[in-house]
Structure 1
Amino acid sequence: MKNIFFIPILLLALSFGVAAEESVSLQHANISPTDNESLQRGAKHFVTYCQGCHSIKHIRYQRMSLDFGIDDKKVLTEIAPQGATIYEQMHTAMNAHDSEKWFGIQPPDLSLIARSRNADWLYSYLKSFYTDTKKPLGTNNLIFKDVGMPNVFWQLQGEQKAMYKTVDGQQEIEKLAVDVPGTLSEQDFDAMINDLVNFLVYVGEPIKLERQRLGKYVLFFLGMFLFISYLLKKEYWKDVH
């Protein structure tokens, strides 16, 4: 389902630096940069539900082919939108002029969203939409209060309602509960969101695994250089004493 009219402005206001409320505990995302199957599923979820409004302009489909260990044809048939070429960047299908007209602002590129936020925040945010009839879009978010976007996953997750408690005479949200079940079980939905977040973490630094691999050799070289420098120092200074 790639109808852009049902794809939200994912994390639209995140660029404004609005933080999650401190009283809300974040859920843990199980991020695995070596799980290529999870990354492939996450990439597909992004294309299906997010790319209608958002781009990831700093990565190309061919780069994913190389990093995920799959051939170009599989990327084009199972991940990329119809008509894309392997050398294209992940540009949004939405026209910048139209997005400003419809939403008042151009949806941000999400290349670095996982680095500006973090995996747990994204995971918790995407799972924390609930029904709020006072809002224009009919939804709100426990992590990002008054966020200006609907819940793109409402059909999959179902509709959640807020359960309140009274603290010092004030009504506070205690937890969220599913009011109308979705098409996915809670476990399957959590796994789907985890895959999407895993992919967003990957695109924030595609070279991370290579950097870590090379880092071991760099540290080994520095260690050897330190040892040799120490021996030279002893040799040069032995006659001084």
Structure 2
Amino acid sequence: MKKLLSTLALFGAASTMAFALMVSPAHADENFPLDRAPDNADNFASLQHGAQLFVNYCLNCHSANLMRYNRLQDLGISQKEIEKNLLFTTDKVGNTMSVAMRPDDAKAWFGAQPPDLSVEARARNKDWLYTYLRSFYRDDTRPTGWNNMVYDNVSMPHVLWQLQGQRTAKFEDDTDERTGEKIRKFVGYQQVTPGTMSPVDYDSAVADLVSYLSWMSEPAQQTRKRLGVWVLMFLGILSFFAWRLNAAYWKDIK
């Protein structure tokens, strides 16, 4: 019981930290429409590809200290495949997904330590992550050279830019109907250089990555849902027998 309570407390703390560090109300653009993320929760091929993308592109800066590499076996990846394709040189298959980058270096380079992503998909939601990872654009006024429509003035560079290519955001001057103030209205993106993936393939890759992040935030979620169905069926049958037993018990009593 103590171990369970400790784990739950750790999940809660990590969730709070991730939300606080990654975005604040001053930076999040609540008016930017979110695209619906595809649901690949039952697609092992998608989750395996997402795990590969996470290790190759995210795990350089972001840790996932609540996830161990050997848990990826739940996705159908063998231990040998994990050791061959997903482990860094000094890591062991039983280690947690930590990063070698020191917090002081991260703060100096990005202005803040990149948050742990173990429960990031629960701190936010899949639609936010799916839209965020597809909304980067070139902005020479930012230290990293990148900005994001979902998270204005983001400190994170666009780590997937080689896959998506480089693009800029197009804005038009407009007037706010409520206040009458002059505003910049986003009207779309302009592709500057192509990526190694087509736009459709890139969106699919991001969907895989987001699906993996969602799975990582609660690896037992599909098992929990399946058990929930059986529990509800059991309670329904139990309720029926309890109802009939109650009727049989009271039928001769007036």
Compared CA separation, residues 122 and 19, structure 1 to 2 (3 A): farther
User: Matches of 1:72 and 1:17 in 2, distance apart?
Assistant: 42
1:124 aligned partner, one-letter code? T
Unaligned runs of 5+ in 2: 1-17, 176-181
Does 2:101 correspond to 1:88? no
Does 2:179 correspond to 1:166? no
- SS of the residue corresponding to residue 135 of structure 1 reads coil
Q: For residue 71 of structure 1, what is the aligned residue in structure 2?
A: 78
127-136 or 23-32: bigger deviation: 23-32
Q: Pick one of 188, 201, 216 that aligns with 1:188.
A: 201
Does 2:239 correspond to 1:226? yes
Q: For residue 141 of structure 2, what is the aligned residue in structure 1?
A: 134
- SS of the residue corresponding to residue 220 of structure 1 reads helix
Q: For residue 3 of structure 1, what is the aligned residue in structure 2?
A: none
- SS of the residue corresponding to residue 133 of structure 2 reads helix
What CA deviation, in whole Å up to 9, does each residue of 1:41-100 have, x standing for no partner? 1111111111111111112111111x1123200111122223322211111221234323
2:43 aligned partner, one-letter code? D
Does 2:64 correspond to 1:56? yes
User: Matches of 1:117 and 1:211 in 2, distance apart?
Assistant: 20
TM-score (norm 1): 0.87
How big is the alpha-carbon RMSD for the aligned residues of Structure 1 and Structure 2? 2.2
Q: Note the C-alpha offset of 1:172.
A: 1.2
User: Matches of 1:154 and 1:108 in 2, distance apart?
Assistant: 20
Q: Pick one of 91, 113, 117 that aligns with 1:110.
A: 117
Q: Note the C-alpha offset of 1:15.
A: 5.1
Compared CA separation, residues 68 and 134, structure 1 to 2 (3 A): same
Q: Count matched residues.
A: 231
User: Matches of 2:52 and 2:106 in 1, distance apart?
Assistant: 23
User: Matches of 1:12 and 1:150 in 2, distance apart?
Assistant: 19
TM-score (norm 2): 0.83
Unaligned runs of 5+ in 1: 1-9
1:163 aligned partner, one-letter code? K
Does 2:245 correspond to 1:238? no
Q: For residue 35 of structure 2, what is the aligned residue in structure 1?
A: 27
